[in-house]
Structure 1
């Protein structure tokens, strides 16, 4: 597939957030209605069908906020959507949930219960909010009780609402008049106490709380017959509790978060005791559901699980929905494949990773075609692909390894090499370059001994980029250019910006993002590397002068696509800059991402963002992603590629004109095939009349000019032009000579 040149025709750029199959979601809360499971994640609502065996996801609905609580009544799911308030989603057809109404609350909606025509929300800093939902399409604020502290949970019992408050007592609020809710009692009384959540059974309240009563009490039984004067009955010193509390029969299920869901026998309320604990995973969400036989628990990033709790002492996991945290991506645009690596955490000590290969011929709809599982954690936010291999690093306990996977058949990837090693990886043909401290180690994937050579660099390296026979390496405050043939340093440019990492190059530009220290600014540098002996700094910009968090020290990245530079700003999303004129470089767009943008890749008009734990997809609208000489429709009229690429002796240029014979009749089509160097000079010109009966043709180029002279190594552009339009392919000509001691063994 040819390389597309981008022409910026407008600064009015918008982005369409596309669905992605590579999403890691925080499962926060759940409700079960018959055979349907309604989960909320920070992305919105997810509906699963479950009869027996494994639950099957049947639909998703993305909300605009950060969904944390859900309550389902009849045909509606009521969602506490954080800064987006209350969302009412129709689930009459679970396969196609649709937003019906929205009421933006003053604070941040965290939990919700619904009764009759009112929804009661824990609105964090705004306390309790009551919304009239008699008309689900037009919900409106009916009343509120503010000034009671940061409210996290709500429980309704008749005309009383029990609100869990962070760092304060649980409040008992009279809501008999929704327009004027008011506090009538609280528990525990006094200072330095808190009550987070409660469930009510007749005159008893079971509370997740924290206070001192001879010991730290995190679970309490309280008599609330007189709401104005709740009386302590009994308590337990269990691990610190969180939102999430249910009573089933004579058992209380309480969320202790990191320590699992404790099961407490309250047959005798004055003497509660722990009968069991479900601690399948390290993390628990804020919501769960239990009945006589089953426990349905959310686990934040670790997904959710279903457990058999008929034996309260030994709950047994029946199913666990594993949530993959996506941390690495790499692309092979020449073959329209992308590679995504994610991790699944079993516990603190054990991880396994998965590599998924997706067909991105239509980048807006990646289609997974192959996968490979490995033991260990893919722990570097970096992968590198060059057909037919992809490389990435895996950590197993205290040891690090480099994994080489053959992806020549994307449907059945095969792990071919697994060797001990660590560092920043860059793959070029069958040669792997590993930047490890002050060494640039070189491996031949096909060689039995793997490692074949190494170069010493003057300081610890942060990142590496290979182009032709040159290695571009960033150290603390400088850019180094090394010859891979001689091992010598050719060029050097001091830039004075510490921690320059995740570089990108598209000849003749090289971009170096830099991240100083917390509390400082960060930005990118743009170099002209057309002369490797004396690279020159063209541009230095500061993106933000506000304090940045520690993760930004390691994750700022960029990518160059012709005259566009895509710059990741970690917690601030990504920018697009116009670098067509080094004297006038400017930002044309910014898009925030849900988490923390770590790297970016442009495929056609779709931007792929490695967003800390998910791969986000954005279609760029109004960016002017049009070929400068050749439109998208014209590109579709020809299939065009050069293989191999890079090449040494020769490359075969194949093209197929997808014209219809009845449009051409029997006349010949004039086809021009020209090869340009990076200065724009034509070095080889082919004039090829092609009959309409012979629309598929291949031409071999041996790296010589029209006079038969051998051309120097470097980047060249092959341009195919017909009367219908044109397209272009970039190729790299190598003039390498591997001898003893250099990419070989003596």
Structure 2
């Protein structure tokens, strides 16, 4: 075997190894033909809070404090300055069924399925104080909450009609919230909200993703909608909406409000309940499978870069190099990247 032929054989072997490495690292070949290898983050479980109450649905990390909402045990605050040893600071539960929460400064707003909107003072994390509540006069049960500019946008479930409406509540005085209006449409499946510049983006369960003009709360207008399989949680960043879509994640271009368009879809094969996007990385809470981490730097080409397998994941929260996974019946996991 001459030297030139042997060199070609060695070169082919090296290229083969490189292609295998690229495939195992979720590497891609971009449009100009260059190899792009994505480094896979290493995930380590550092703590498990098992006694959150039994049905943990959401967590909000703010510095050294972790706010945990358990459907069956209300609100719990943990000190996570040492994430390996989180310690309980205080808890508050007055019955009901906690479904969603939103934090604004020293106030925490909780949508309770049976007890309505509950507003808490959390300025002292060792002493949670309830300030005010508001319930529905009829059969409405509050399941989702988002607060912007002293207005609370509420997803309210109605047993009689088996659907959701959107309520807007004035919370200027947190001790005495006042309902402003209730909005319904032909679908009535409002679940989650985000408001920016008088535009309300909303996940509407089986009727998809909707964009509403809420400049005048008493005369809300639908701007556009995009049909999805099952939309629950989402995040809006600039002109993109990252939306849970049944068993996957869809990225929508919302630069033209009247015509949202799909850029890409990632099929996770299980229901996706929670999503958080930070620095072109999407963290996905995938029901029976666990955590999936996706590279979304190119919104037209989503690909997975890491995963952490566990069961019954309900939501995900990310702060710095820590990931908090809330779980149905199993409490909360803290992972480190």
Task: Compute the TM-score of the two structures, normalised by the length of structure 2.
Answer: 0.77
Check the 8 A contact 1:45/1:63 in 2, yes or no.
Answer: no
Q: Deviation string for 1:433-479 (max 9, x for gaps)?
A: xxxxxxxxxxxxxxxxxxxxxxxxxxxxxxxxxxxxxxxxxxxxxxx
Among residues 217, 226, 233, which one is paired with 1:178 in the alignment? 217
Identify the residue that residue 47 of structure 2 maps to in structure 1.
none
Unaligned runs of 5+ in 1: 1-21, 211-216, 310-746
Check the 8 A contact 2:194/2:201 in 1, yes or no.
Answer: yes
1:24-63, aligned counterparts within 5 Å? 24-42=53-71, 43-52=73-82, 53-63=84-94
Quote the Cα distance in structure 2 between the aligned partners of 1:227 and 1:108: 30
Q: Deviation string for 1:525-547 (max 9, x for gaps)?
A: xxxxxxxxxxxxxxxxxxxxxxx
Identify the residue that residue 103 of structure 1 maps to in structure 2.
134
Among residues 219, 229, 242, which one is paired with 1:206 in the alignment? 242
1:470-619, aligned counterparts within 5 Å? none
Identify the residue that residue 290 of structure 2 maps to in structure 1.
260
Check the 8 A contact 2:58/2:70 in 1, yes or no.
Answer: yes
1:145-224, aligned counterparts within 5 Å? 145-147=183-185, 148-188=187-227, 193-210=229-246, 218-224=248-254
Check if 1:301 corresponds to 2:332.
no
RCO higher in structure (CA 8 A, sep ≥6): 2
Q: Identify the structure with the greater helix proportion.
A: 2
Identify the residue that residue 528 of structure 1 maps to in structure 2.
none
Following TM superposition, by how much is the alpha carbon of 1:90 offset from its aligned partner in structure 2, in angstroms?
Answer: 1.2
Among residues 131, 135, 142, which one is paired with 2:169 in the alignment? 131
Following TM superposition, by how much is the alpha carbon of 1:153 offset from its aligned partner in structure 2, in angstroms?
Answer: 2.1
Q: Deviation string for 1:613-662 (max 9, x for gaps)?
A: xxxxxxxxxxxxxxxxxxxxxxxxxxxxxxxxxxxxxxxxxxxxxxxxxx
Quote the Cα distance in structure 1 between the aligned partners of 2:296 and 2:218: 36
Check the 8 A contact 1:297/1:304 in 2, yes or no.
Answer: yes
Among residues 120, 138, 157, which one is paired with 2:153 in the alignment? 120
Following TM superposition, by how much is the alpha carbon of 1:23 offset from its aligned partner in structure 2, in angstroms?
Answer: 8.2
Identify the residue that residue 307 of structure 2 maps to in structure 1.
277
Following TM superposition, by how much is the alpha carbon of 1:143 offset from its aligned partner in structure 2, in angstroms?
Answer: 2.2
Quote the Cα distance in structure 2 between the aligned partners of 1:164 and 1:62: 28
Quote the Cα distance in structure 1 between the aligned partners of 2:52 and 2:86: 18
Check the 8 A contact 1:152/1:243 in 2, yes or no.
Answer: no
CA change 1:240–1:160 in 2 (3 A) is farther
Identify the residue that residue 230 of structure 1 maps to in structure 2.
260
Unaligned runs of 5+ in 2: 1-50, 158-162
Following TM superposition, by how much is the alpha carbon of 1:222 offset from its aligned partner in structure 2, in angstroms?
Answer: 1.0
Check the 8 A contact 1:170/1:196 in 2, yes or no.
Answer: no
1:393-412, aligned counterparts within 5 Å? none
SS of equivalent residue, structure 1 residue 51: coil
CA change 1:274–1:306 in 2 (3 A) is same
SS of equivalent residue, structure 2 residue 288: helix
Check if 1:143 corresponds to 2:181.
yes
SS of equivalent residue, structure 2 residue 231: strand
SS of equivalent residue, structure 2 residue 299: coil
Quote the Cα distance in structure 2 between the aligned partners of 1:232 and 1:142: 34
